[in-house]
Structure 1
Amino acid sequence: MRFVRASSGTAKKPRPRAQFNLRGRLMLVAGAMGLCAVALVVRAVDLQLVDNDFYQRKADARFLREVPIPTSRGMITDRNGEPLAVSSPVESLWANPQELANDPDAIARLAEATSLPVDYLTRYVSQRKDKEFMYVPGHRRINPAVAQKILALKIPGVFSQREFRRFYPQGEAVAHVLGFTNIDDQGQEGVELAFDEWLRGKPGLQKVIRDRHGRIVEHVDLVRPAEPGKDLVLSIDRRIQFLAYRELKRTLLETRAASGSVVILDVATGEVLAMANLPSYNNNKVSGENRDAYRNRAVTDLFEPGSTIKPLTVAAGLEAGVITPTTLIDTNPGWIPNGRYRTSDFRNYGVLDVTGVLTKSSNVGVSKIVRMLPDREFDAFLRRFGFGSSTGSGFPGEAPGTFPTPDRWSGTHKQTLSYGYGLSATPLQIARAYAAIGNGGVMVTPTFVKGGHAGGSVRVLDPEIAAQVMQMMQTVTEPGGTATRAAILGYHVAGKTGTARKSAAGGYARRYVAYFAGLVPVERPRFAVTVVVNDPDPSAGGSTYGGGYVSAPLFARVMEGALRLMDVPPDDIETWLAAQAAGEGGRARVAGAATGGRR
């Protein structure tokens, strides 16, 4: 049976459709877009006006730069205002590696213009392509004309900036005193290093806007003005310096010596008037080669002073009262024991007074004098004259020397000290000690700055004893002395020769250092001079290696010129007048008679 569901009899009515409100929807969309626009405007105002620091920094990082303003280094002059070191404007080529790295043609053009290998320049640029600045290799601080010639090619990403370069008009003659600066114009040696802070000044700083090619399109602000370096006036006299350098070079060529130094001090002020060294170098063109030539041997190299110490040994005896200038000393038979060795003279001088000990440079004589002195008293005396300590000149790398204390002396040490072995000193230290004698016993701190003797002075010797030692040293340059070749016509010269054997492994070699230390004129000493010639060849030109033959003539030639240049009046008027009266023909005979015929 099939059942059928009965119909209810009523049909279901459909729902009515909602009326579409287009106007309302449009207003809603317009309102939403208006709110978005307002939000964008508000955000833009906030970013541009209210909180714009972040994006300003980003923009500035791309276009605003702080660039240094180069400043010139202070000029260095000699005591008379002659330039010794000057700074000249130059150009440095630089490039933007980011721009060059994407332009092989620009790299090729730049390589051709600078004579650099293309592959080298390509590699050099690619290694720096994440940077915006690099100096073009080999083209920093170059001639402005060369830089402008390259810039005229208008190579994309290549520019130049002004810098300063140091020039030294006197070249190698004053190189060891002046030193030099590096590529960044910072002092590296000598006076340039010692007075670097004074000379270098302070670079300025300015804000500029660069375009995307790196070109400056606007100068925004001066952050800090450039302050040029201060000038420096040295105590060096350019004329005397060149004279000393020339004569030292002549001597080294004649004797085939390894090296040499000349130091000239103003006795009263301690000012260094000249300091010449060889071998030298050209500080206008410094390379990494032969750095041994850069050092100032007059303040860094140590030598045993040899017989130049003998006047101080005599002065110590005079001060202690154990001798007088006329005390007789028996030097027979020309030698005395010195432990396992002998202390010997050049020959047997017999009986000498103390003046004769210096005149003949007797090792035996000074050995007998020092035996009369207590160890600590002799040690204190030499230290008073500055041995074993720096002179205080302030020159970079100055060596203090070596001088062992008495508790380290062996049984023979004091004896060898009396004639200049067993201690070491620089040529400047020897010159300072002699200047103290010439200054009436007052020792002044050496200085390289004109009027710069701020280190003060100290009395180290009684003036009467200083005068006695001066008179004794005068006999050394007169007939019968060891340094007649140091005599100067019209002037009395006080000095002392020295010939020291060079130390070697196991003792001393048969190689020598030839010295002459002197003061002139004797009546009122103006100059204290030390001449050191290291390792002269005894076979050179038939000469010998002794200080009286090698260093004394060099002293005489330099001082003849210096006395004339500085208008120092003669103190040996009689000899000078006799030479003038004799004329050119007789002048040599008069000079020869005054010096024993061995000038």
Structure 2
Amino acid sequence: MSIENSVHSPGKWRFRFVYGMALVLFLVAGGRLFYLTVVDKAFLKNQGEIRAVRTESIPATRGMILDRRGEPLAVSTTTWTIVANPKALWKMKSDPALNLGPEQEIKRLAEVMGVGRAWLQEKFESNKNRSFMYLKRQISPNEADAIMAERIVGVIKTKEYKRFYPAGEVASHVVGFTNIDDKGQEGIELAYDQALEGEPGRRSYLKDLSGNIIHSVGVAETERPGENIELSIDLRLQYLAYRELKAAVNEHRATSASAVILDVKTGEILAMVNQPSYNPNDRSKLEYEELRNRAVIDLFEPGSTMKPFTISAALMSGQYTTETTINTSPGYLRFGRFTIRDAANYGDMNFERLLIKSSNVGASKIALSLPQDAIWNMDYELGIGSPVGIGFPGEASGVLPSHPKWHPSEIATLSYGYGLSVSTLQLAQAYMTLANDGYRVPVTIFKQDAPADGKQVISREVAKDVVKMMESVVQKGSGKAAKIPGYRVAGKTGTVHKVGSKGYEYDQYIALFAGVAPASNPRLAMVVMVNDPKGREYYGGEVAAPVFSRVMEGALTTLNIYPDLPEGLREVRLEPKKTPLQVVQGG
């Protein structure tokens, strides 16, 4: 071996070793790069987006609630909400010389927001590890722009929707309201929240490490607005009923009241009002009692307003005719220590006079002569004791007691409206059925193109006869204050003693009037309930009947329902007369 070969052999070997190592490293790096850019591309992209791309919800516009004529009862308006990223604010570098830093930013923000600096400072400090915090929700565009003009680190604005109720307190118990997150809390807003709220969309943003938006990536999913809901309510009638009911409550210093108007043919609720009420646009001083939709929740004994149905059961039995007379002498009926009384000894009376005088003794004797479950069956078929089924939260079913064996006093009291309980809406449903020739259709809060299928629960002949008898109550009896110039009106008064802790209260009443018009071909049924009037007037004929008259007159003319009273028999409105005291259960 030559000297030259022996000298260069070790260098050549080292060169090849280094070259080989470099090649191995290159292959390893290339393989890793290939793996990351090809094999694991989707995973790495996803991880990158998690750290840089954020998906935010696009709020959907909540559906409108409309009355039957398309008038808005609930609408959503665009508002802005100011949110902050406390974590980003506290990460910013302070520079006292340039008056920069978290404290300085909070001071500027407090000034433009009009809030206390100490309160805002504490809010940011208690949320310093969070990247999201509400500052001010649902504000006007001008206010939002003023805040954003300060360019506070980590503060942005987002779009939200705020619910507005054009009819205010007039329709509040029907419509209800939503909370600040646009979720239904009462009324239609709660009952049909899912249909109204729609489906939110999704939008992606590219953000920096501080959470600030760099640019929009795009809309991943478009929002779907909520459904509009068209109610059967006629806002014109709703305003009218609300105004008159509120005036009556104030005049008679009543605790509460409710009124319902139904379309006799379709079962649609045209108006449903309550007192006290509340303004859903300003709930700062809202009290729980104001939230009660008393027309569907509150229960009461209907008293003498049930006597037309007792007569209906009697005529349906075949045992009686419209001219059958009942001997009510001596004006009372005893069951052991329990006594049923009339205001006077009316002697023999037919059914029409029984309603005019509102005889408890007469109604009791009729009921006791029928099969023991006859009155119960009639009330049940009219919907008493069952929810009306309009889908409102908390709707009461009422109470219709059932006994294996009825005591005579239980049958008697049921005949004149005691021992059972109803809501205003249930009682209106019963009168609607009577006015619709005994054909009961489902009650609904939604506008109907055609009436739903119903059930004949009172024969047409009997229903017509009873409505005609109820006309006499308005013409000659305690319902005179329910008269409407130009129209024939049929109805029944009721004055019910309230139940207290020790039985019926002597000086606390519920004043009722239930009626239909025009009596020749009824189109509307209405019930007015006034709870605990504290003035000198407290009878149904004095307190509730005048409300019925004024509201029904306005409703008939508003709906262009032609007068049915012959021209020569029309009269001007009469002031309600004082009715004689009727003892305990009288009408």
- Is the TM-score greater than 0.5? yes
Write the mapping of 1:533-572 to structure 2, written as runs, cut at 5 A. 533-537=530-534, 540=535, 543-572=536-565
> Match of 1:40?
29
Query: Unaligned regions of 5+ residues in structure 2, if any?
Result: 1-5, 92-101, 580-587
> Match of 2:94?
none
Does the Cα contact within 8 Å between 1:266 and 1:272 map onto a contact in 2?
yes
State how far apart, in whole Å, the 1-side matches of 2:438 and 2:353 are. Answer: 22
1:239 to partner: Cα distance: 0.7
Is structure 2 residue 332 aligned with structure 1 residue 335? yes
Write the mapping of 1:189-268 to structure 2, written as runs, cut at 5 A. 189-268=186-265
> Match of 1:422?
419
Letter in 2 for 1:370: A
1:123 to partner: Cα distance: 3.4
Does the Cα contact within 8 Å between 1:446 and 1:453 map onto a contact in 2?
no
TM-score by length of 1: 0.89
> Match of 1:61?
50
Is structure 2 residue 148 aligned with structure 1 residue 155? no
Is structure 2 residue 75 aligned with structure 1 residue 75? no
State how far apart, in whole Å, the 1-side matches of 2:84 and 2:545 are. Answer: 59
State how far apart, in whole Å, the 1-side matches of 2:90 and 2:373 are. Answer: 74
> Match of 1:491?
487
Farther-moved stretch of structure 1 (65-74 vs 283-292)? 283-292
C-alpha change, 1:362 and 1:553, in structure 2 (3 Å) is same
Q: SS of 1:388's equivalent?
A: coil
Farther-moved stretch of structure 1 (521-530 vs 107-116)? 107-116
> Match of 2:98?
none
State how far apart, in whole Å, the 2-side matches of 1:188 and 1:452 are. Answer: 29
C-alpha change, 1:65 and 1:326, in structure 2 (3 Å) is same
Farther-moved stretch of structure 1 (26-35 vs 79-88)? 26-35
1:473 to partner: Cα distance: 0.4
Does the Cα contact within 8 Å between 1:99 and 1:157 map onto a contact in 2?
yes
Write the mapping of 1:110-121 to structure 2, written as runs, cut at 5 A. 110-121=109-120
CA deviations over 1:404-436 (Å, ceiling 9, x no partner): 112274441111111111000000000000000
Is structure 2 residue 105 aligned with structure 1 residue 106? yes
Does the Cα contact within 8 Å between 2:266 and 2:451 map onto a contact in 1?
no
1:347 to partner: Cα distance: 2.6
Q: CA RMSD in A?
A: 2.2
Farther-moved stretch of structure 1 (404-413 vs 385-394)? 404-413
C-alpha change, 1:280 and 1:218, in structure 2 (3 Å) is same
Is structure 2 residue 493 aligned with structure 1 residue 500? no
Letter in 1 for 2:25: C
1:494 to partner: Cα distance: 0.3
1:185 to partner: Cα distance: 1.3
Aligned residues with identical type, % of pairs:
44
CA deviations over 1:144-193 (Å, ceiling 9, x no partner): 22111111111110111111111100000000000111222122211112
State how far apart, in whole Å, the 2-side matches of 1:505 and 1:34 are. Answer: 99
Q: SS of 1:87's equivalent?
A: strand
Write the mapping of 1:383-394 to structure 2, written as runs, cut at 5 A. 383-394=380-391
State how far apart, in whole Å, the 2-side matches of 1:259 and 1:452 are. Answer: 34
Does the Cα contact within 8 Å between 2:254 and 2:530 map onto a contact in 1?
yes
1:289 to partner: Cα distance: 4.4
Q: SS of 1:105's equivalent?
A: helix
2:371 corresponds to which of 356, 374, 384:
374
Does the Cα contact within 8 Å between 1:434 and 1:519 map onto a contact in 2?
yes
> Match of 2:77?
88
State how far apart, in whole Å, the 1-side matches of 2:487 and 2:342 are. Answer: 29
> Match of 1:5?
none
> Match of 2:309?
312
CA deviations over 1:463-515 (Å, ceiling 9, x no partner): 00000000110011113x01100111111110000011111123111211100
> Match of 2:280?
283
Letter in 2 for 1:108: K
> Match of 2:474?
477
Does the Cα contact within 8 Å between 2:168 and 2:281 map onto a contact in 1?
yes
Is structure 2 residue 454 aligned with structure 1 residue 457? yes
State how far apart, in whole Å, the 2-side matches of 1:135 and 1:125 are. Answer: 10
Q: SS of 2:417's equivalent?
A: coil
State how far apart, in whole Å, the 1-side matches of 2:152 and 2:438 are. Answer: 70
TM-score by length of 2: 0.91
State how far apart, in whole Å, the 2-side matches of 1:339 and 1:30 are. Answer: 122
Is structure 2 residue 566 aligned with structure 1 residue 573? yes
> Match of 1:133?
132
Letter in 2 for 1:107: I
Does the Cα contact within 8 Å between 1:445 and 1:453 map onto a contact in 2?
no
Q: SS of 1:84's equivalent?
A: strand
Q: SS of 2:369's equivalent?
A: coil
